[in-house]
Amino acid sequence: MTRRIKFKSEVGRLLEIVINSLYKHREIFLRELISNSVDALNKLKFKQLNGEEVLTPELEHRIDIKLNQQGNTIEVIDTGIGMTEDEIIENLGTIAHSGTKKFFELLEKKDEISEELIGQFGVGFYSVFMVADMVEVISKSYIKDSPAVRWKSEGKERFEVDVLDGDYKRGTTVKIYLKDDSKEFLSESRIEAIVDRYSRFVPYPIYLNGRKLKQLKPLWLENPQGLKKEDYEKFYKYLTKSELKPLTYLHIFSDAPVDLKSIIFVPPFSLIKFGLEDDTGIRLYSKKVLIAEKTEEIVPDYLRFLKGVVDSEDIQLNISRETIQNDPVVLKLKKTITKKVLKHFKEFLKKDRANYNVFFEEFGVYLKEGIVKDYPEKNELAELLLFETTEDEKKITLEEYLEKTDYKDSIFYIVGEDRKTVEKSPYLEQFYKKGVPVLILTQVLDETVLEHIGKFKDAEFKLITREDVFLEGEDKETTVEEEDKKFLEKVKEILKDRIYDAIVSSRLVKSPYCLVSQKNAPSSQMERMMNALNKFYVPSKKILEFNTSHPIYKGLKNLVLNSEDEKLKEIVLNSIVDTAELSEGFLSNIPQAVERYNGLIERLLELDKN
């Protein structure tokens, strides 16, 4: 009996989109079908290795492509796990499958994403309708006594399913009735080229009209000494189904203390940036048998952007998703891989700075995450960080920073919105004067990162907007006369709601005053963020520091000590705090500040009138 079933509505939409948007990449339909066959064979192999009973266990694991010129058809045949009637309806009638779903998400962001990248996503089975007028899938499940089933569709609104009588071989045959404009795919050389391009590392033999095609053996099992960069790049393309090249890669090839053959890639950019989850991760094999398509357990979480394969003969084939995490061999492998990866990053930093910079832009945030989450490799990760400094827009490492400074026990830093605001900051004046570089942190996260590093080599991190952070050899206190004391007392009194203290110091060279944080207080940027996250967080009060050699200081002193106009004192002093805040890039209370400025303007206008 034939069952006619309507596609779920989104399938119809997908079919339309796939056909239109991927037209230039029509050939990937073959990649998608072969990749489904590989999955089906992997699943079968896995069941066999775990001692499950399967239909015709002696049947060779292989993929056949058959071209029929007269009939205008292509068949892709595998001896994999197959599908039952229920499975075929579920699997080929909905798009509950991750690959296809992702493709939808991707299309929504199409403007930001290149054509190339679109091809990178597994559109899955439905891509076949780019080249097909009609598709027939015949499948026989590995489960004994389960009848074969046929699925048929023109890729429009519905599909048909029949249960078949008679003998069928285990596995799945996808028969494509080619569209008139897709006849090129009947050419053997064309098909061979496509297989070579996308499927050369497929771990099962592929036959084209009965002839075995040339394939490459798993690259990770080859001795790296005989391999070239191009080999790795081709493997990367196969693995990620993309036309992109990795930023860097490493090949781990060792037998002892654990058997470990692994190729690890850093992709050219982070997909997560586009709000997309990455499909390819690290594949785990044992003796060439695929155990998991994407293993999160084989590298620490902060290295989740890596792609590649890990193969070890020491891993149990019957390891399960649940036990993988605590498996002693996996843990050992993880340790080794982490160590090698970090060592590789260090070499990458030394040998190829231009590309390392790109790497850091894309993935630096992951390394920082490793530090903030206090992974044991924290110190090694710290060596991989890059920072902007006041000296140069070119980012440098902490080690390079220490080479540039005479103050070997201090790494000075400042936090700000952006380089421009920070550069003009009054806190930097004494550092400019002495030629001491200061790290510029423009991300609040960076401050937390430094806190978690704690100390780098023997140097301590010092936020230069703190009251106790001073260049050694500079006197913080300048001589304070009785008169100055009186002035400062009065300032403190007038500003008691806004500041913690008022002092004079030699911190400043050109600017008249600035606000500094109390000892151990986080930066203003951090405090503002904390306040944004939690309304109950009250930012700590600052210390107002004056530069006694500035003309404004003398004028202020005169006003505060000798004038009777209390209102003016209040407006002027509060405006000073506002201005000091502004030089850090923000204002804590805008409406009040506006009112004060208007007060000042009125005063100035009155002056003019008199």
Establish if 371 lies at the interface with ligand ADP (CB under 6 A). Answer: no
Q: Which residue from 22, 27, 106, 124 is in contact with ligand ADP, where contact means CB under 6 A? A: 124
Establish if 176 lies at the interface with ligand ADP (CB under 6 A). Answer: no
Residues that bind ligand ADP (rule: CB under 6 A) add up to a total of 19
C-beta of 43 vs 498, nearer to ligand ADP: 43
Residue 344 near residue 250 (C-beta atoms within 8 A): yes
C-alpha distances (whole Å) from 295 to each of 288, 312, 315 are 15, 14, 13
Site for ligand ADP in 146-175 (CB under 6 A): 172
Beta sheet of 513-516, edge-to-edge order:
499-504, 542-546, 513-516
**CB 28 to ligand ADP: min, Å:** 12
Q: Which residue from 42, 84, 100, 199 is in contact with ligand ADP, where contact means CB under 6 A? A: 100
- Residue 171: left if φ>0, alpha if ψ -120 to 50, beta else—which one? left
Choose the stretch contacting ligand ADP; rule: CB under 6 A; options: 34-42, 47-55, 237-245, 562-570. Answer: 34-42
**CB 172 to ligand ADP: min, Å:** 4
Choose the stretch contacting ligand ADP; rule: CB under 6 A; options: 17-25, 91-99, 219-227, 474-482. Answer: 91-99
**CB 240 to ligand ADP: min, Å:** 15
Q: Which residue from 14, 63, 83, 260 is in contact with ligand ADP, where contact means CB under 6 A? A: 83
Choose the stretch contacting ligand ADP; rule: CB under 6 A; options: 31-39, 222-230, 460-468, 581-589. Answer: 31-39
**CB 127 to ligand ADP: min, Å:** 8
Establish if 36 lies at the interface with ligand ADP (CB under 6 A). Answer: yes
Establish if 141 lies at the interface with ligand ADP (CB under 6 A). Answer: no
* 273 C-beta neighbours (distance < 10 Å), count: 10
**CB 236 to ligand ADP: min, Å:** 20
Residue 544 near residue 513 (C-beta atoms within 8 A): yes
Residue 495 near residue 457 (C-beta atoms within 8 A): no
**CB 319 to ligand ADP: min, Å:** 22
**CB 442 to ligand ADP: min, Å:** 40
C-alpha distances (whole Å) from 76 to each of 64, 139, 174 are 6, 12, 5
C-alpha distances (whole Å) from 276 to each of 108, 113, 273, 290, 530 are 11, 11, 7, 25, 28
443: CB partners within 8 A, 6+ apart: none
Q: Which residue from 28, 67, 81, 516 is in contact with ligand ADP, where contact means CB under 6 A? A: 81
Establish if 199 lies at the interface with ligand ADP (CB under 6 A). Answer: no
* 416 C-beta neighbours (distance < 10 Å), count: 23
C-beta of 231 vs 279, nearer to ligand ADP: 279
CA geometry: angle 427, 429, 431, nearest 5 deg: 95
**CB 86 to ligand ADP: min, Å:** 12
C-beta of 172 vs 505, nearer to ligand ADP: 172
Q: Which residue from 26, 66, 97, 200 is in contact with ligand ADP, where contact means CB under 6 A? A: 97
Phi, psi for 408 (deg, rounded to 5): -70, -15
Residue 134 near residue 152 (C-beta atoms within 8 A): yes
DSSP character string of 215-241: -PPPGGGS-GGG--HHHHHHHHHHHHT
Integer Cα distance of 396 and 495 in angstroms: 41
Q: Residue 340 has which token pair?
A: 């090698």
Burial class (CB in 10 A: 0-12, 13-18, 19+), 156: exposed
Choose the stretch contacting ligand ADP; rule: CB under 6 A; options: 76-84, 441-449, 493-501, 578-586. Answer: 76-84
Choose the stretch contacting ligand ADP; rule: CB under 6 A; options: 98-106, 113-121, 446-454, 526-534. Answer: 98-106
Q: Residue 460 has which token pair?
A: 């301590």
Q: Which residue from 22, 30, 67, 78 is in contact with ligand ADP, where contact means CB under 6 A? A: 78
Residue linked to tokens 């309806």:
89
Q: Residue 188 has which token pair?
A: 């053997």
Establish if 42 lies at the interface with ligand ADP (CB under 6 A). Answer: no
Establish if 80 lies at the interface with ligand ADP (CB under 6 A). Answer: yes
Establish if 40 lies at the interface with ligand ADP (CB under 6 A). Answer: yes
Task: Give the residues lining the site for ligand ADP (CB under 6 A).
Answer: 32, 36-37, 40, 78, 80-83, 91-92, 97-100, 122, 124-125, 172
